A and B are shown apart, each in its own frame.
Chain A
Amino acid sequence: MTVADKPITTDIYGQPVEPKPGNDYITHSKGVLSWALTLDHKRIGLMYLVAVLAAFAIGGFFAIFLRTMLLFGSKVGETRMGFEVGAAAWNDFYNQAFTLHGAIMVFMFIIPAIPAVLGNFALPLQLGAKDVAFPRLNLLSFYCWCGGSALLAAILFGGILSAFGIAMPQALNGLDTGWTFYTPYSTTTQTGVVLATLGAFILGFSSILTGLNFVATIHMLKPKGMGWFNMPLFLWAMYATAVIQILATPVLAITLLLLCAENLIGIGVFDPKLGGDPVLFQHFFWFYSHPAVYIMILPGLGVVSEIISTFSRKHIFGYKFIAYSSVAIALFGFIVWGHHMFTSGQSAMINAIFSLLTMSVAIPSAIKVFNWLATMYHGKIRVETPMLYAMGFIWLFTIGGLTGLFLAALSTDIYFHDTYFVVAHFHYVMVGSTLFAFLGGMYYWFPKMFGRMYNETWGRIGWAFCFVGFNATFFIQFIAGSKGMPRRYATFVDDFTWYHHLSTGGSYILTIGLFIVLANWILAKRGRRAPANPWGGNQLEWHTNSPPPHANFEYDPVGTDPYHFHDWTYDEKIDGYVLDPEHDPGNPTHAPVH
Chain B
Amino acid sequence: MKLHYGLNDFKDIDWLAVLQIAAPFIVVGLILILIALFDLYRHRNERSNVLLWTIVILFFNTIGPILYFTIGRKGEKPNEVRN
Do A and B come together as binding partners? no
Interfacial residues, chain A to chain B (CB-CB below 8 A): none
Interfacial residues, chain B to chain A (CB-CB below 8 A): none
